[in-house]
Amino acid sequence: MASVAFLGLGVMGYPMAAHLKNKGGHDVTVYNRSAAKAQKWVGEHGGSHAPTPREAAKDKDFVFSCVGNDDDLRSVTIGPDGAFQSMKKGAIYIDNTTASAEVARELGEKATEYGISFLDAPVSGGQAGAENGALTVMVGGEQDVFDKAKPVIDAYAKMVGLMGATGAGQLTKMINQICIAGLVQGLAEGIHFGKKAGLDIEKVVEVISKGAAGSWQMENRHKTMNAGKYDFGFAVDWMRKDLGICLTEADRNGASLPVTALVDQFYKDVQGMGGKRWDTSSLLARLEK
C-alpha cells in the first residue's frame, strides 16, 4: 500500500481516484477545486480530503492529477498552494491531464529542482474506461521512475506504456486524438451516406465492421449516432481543446495535419449548433442539419 494524493475529481479523476483506493488498496487523499465534490468522494470511498493541493500532497509517495489544461496544471503543481511545495524528496508526481508536451517538460524540470520525479501520463478510454478501470495510459519520463509508478497506475488501467522522455506521453496522446478525429468524421460520413442511400445502417455496420473499415468508434458509437443521441462519451469542447494542442505542436514541429485542422473546424460548427457538451460522434449531426 502506498500513500497517494489525487488532485482533480472531474468525470475522469473521480473514478480513477476510487480505483486507487478500492482496487489498489492505497491510502488516498483527494483535492478538488469544489470542496463539496471532494467531501462526496470521501463519503463514498473513505480516505480523506484536503483544502489545497499542497496539503493533499504532503508526505505522499505518489501524487496524481487530472485537471483541465496547462494553466490548471501549473496551478496545482507550482502555484503558491501547489503540490510541489510540500512533496517529500523522492516522491513521484503523475499527471493524467491531457496537456501540452511543453508544460510536461517544464514541470519535469521543475520537479528535479524540488528533488522529486515527474511523469506525464495522459489517458485514453473516456469516462467508461475510467469508471471500469480500463484506461490506456501513455507515459513520458525516466524508466526507473516509471517502474516504481506502474504498479500504482495499474489500478485504473488496462494498458500502461512508457513512450519516451518527459513529454512523450503527451505527444502520444496527441496522435491518439488525431487518429480519432479522422475516424469519427469518416464514420459520420459513412452513416450519413448510407441513410441517404436508403440502406439499413445496422445491417451495413454488421458487415463492414468485420472488415478493414472496423474500428472501436464503429463498434461503440454507430448505434447512438444512428439514433441521433450524443451523450455517451468525450465532449466536443474537450476534443477541441485537445485538437488545439495537436495543431499548436504541429506548428512547432513542422507536421502537416490538414484533416485534423478540417475536423477541428467541423467541431467548431457543432459547438455553434449548441453541441458543446455533445460527445465527439456528433459530427454526424453537422452533416444532417
Active-site residues: which are they?
A: 173
3-class SS shares of the chain: helix, strand, coil, % to 5 = 55, 15, 30
The closest of 211, 208, 183 to 200, measured between CA atoms, is 208
Do residues 112 and 136 lie in contact, with contact meaning Cβ atoms separated by under 8 Å? no
Query: Which of 23, 74, 62, 27 shows the shortest CA–CA distance to 149?
Result: 62
- Amino acid in position 67: V
Long-range pairs for 43-46: beta carbons < 8 A, 24 or more residues apart: 44/18, 45/17, 45/18, 45/21, 46/21
Residue that has been written with the C-alpha cell 493533499 in this structure: 56
Q: How many CA atoms lie within 13 A of 126 on its CB side?
A: 17
First to last CA, the chain: 53
Amino acid letter, 274: G
Nearest 5°: the CA angle 38, 42, 47 is 115
Which H or E element spans position 135? strand 135-140
